[in-house]
């Protein structure tokens, strides 16, 4: 599934092969008091081992900037923006930034809904999921996130697909 997504996004075979490797490695798991607590990680639906890319993404300021660009990309994407017609955008941005921070090994607390709860009844398709992932790839490119960090982050998001895609 992760490989499939990577290919759908047009990532090279080498990068696609890298994606599962990001999962296999637990050696660089973030540790110490700076990481989000266990409940927060569970609620954020993080599946693979967390690596610490918090600083690589520019800390909280960088994560917020990335989230803004990502949501702007989604809002401008005619393939999927209709899903967000009734969304509370400031609230969504806040929850996304907190969740992304947790995924990136940062010292955050995600207090939003689980991915199953948040997307229940929205009838999200695999195609819609892939468009959203592409919007995130474009946002990471805009913010010059290094490729290994991009691959880690997109693999973490790809692992949430079973909770989000219901159609
Ligand atoms: C890995 C991919 C995704 C992640 C990490 C994600 C994350 C989130 C988060 C954190 C929330 C807020 C939960 C809360 O407020 O408690 C949310 C809500 C939502 N998501 Fe996603 N999501 C993803 C994919 C998608 C896709 C593919 C769609 C549709 C194409 C989508 C549509 C929505 C909508 C409509 C809401 C509700 C917004 C509102 O009512 O204010 N999401 N998502």
Q: For the range 161-165, what are the long-range contacts, defined as Cβ-Cβ under 8 Å and sequence gap of 24 or more?
A: 161/1, 161/5, 161/126, 161/129, 163/45, 163/114, 163/115, 163/116, 163/119, 164/115, 164/119, 164/124, 164/129, 165/124, 165/125, 165/126, 165/128, 165/129
pLDDT under 50 in the chain at which residues? 1-3, 6-8, 10-33
**Pocket lined around ligand 1, Cβ cut-off 6 Å:** 80, 83-84, 87-88, 91-92, 95-96, 99, 112-113, 118-119, 122, 124, 128-129, 132, 157, 160, 164
What atom in ligand 1 is closest to the CA of residue 165? Answer: 27
Distance (angstroms) between ligand 1 centre and the Cα of 115 equals 7
| CATH number of the domain within which 137 lies | 1.10.490.10
What atom in ligand 1 is closest to the CA of residue 161? Answer: 1
Distance (angstroms) between ligand 1 centre and the Cα of 11 equals 24
Domains held by the chain: number: 1
Per-residue pLDDT tens for 43-60? 999 998 999 999 999 999
List the domain range (segments joined by +) for residue 96.
2-164
Enter the pTM of the model.
Answer: 0.86
């Amino acid at each position: 599934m992760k490989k499939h997504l990577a290919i759908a996004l047009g990532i090279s075979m080498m990068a696609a092969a890298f994606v599962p490797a990001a999962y296999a490695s637990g050696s660089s798991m973030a540790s110490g008091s700076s990481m989000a607590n266990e409940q927060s990680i569970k609620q954020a639906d993080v599946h693979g081992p967390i690596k610490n890319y918090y600083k690589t993404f520019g800390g909280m300021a960088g994560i917020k900037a990335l989230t803004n660009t990502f949501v702007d990309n989604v809002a401008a994407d005619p393939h999927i923006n209709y899903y967000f017609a009734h969304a509370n955008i400031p609230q969504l941005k806040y929850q996304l930034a907190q969740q992304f921070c947790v995924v990136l090994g940062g010292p955050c607390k995600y207090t939003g809904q689980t991915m199953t709860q948040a997307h229940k009844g929205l009838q999200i398709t695999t195609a819609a999921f892939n468009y959203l992932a592409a919007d995130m790839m474009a946002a990471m490119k805009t913010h010059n996130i290094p490729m290994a960090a991009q691959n880690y982050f997109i693999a973490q998001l790809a692992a949430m697909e079973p909770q989000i895609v219901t159609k």
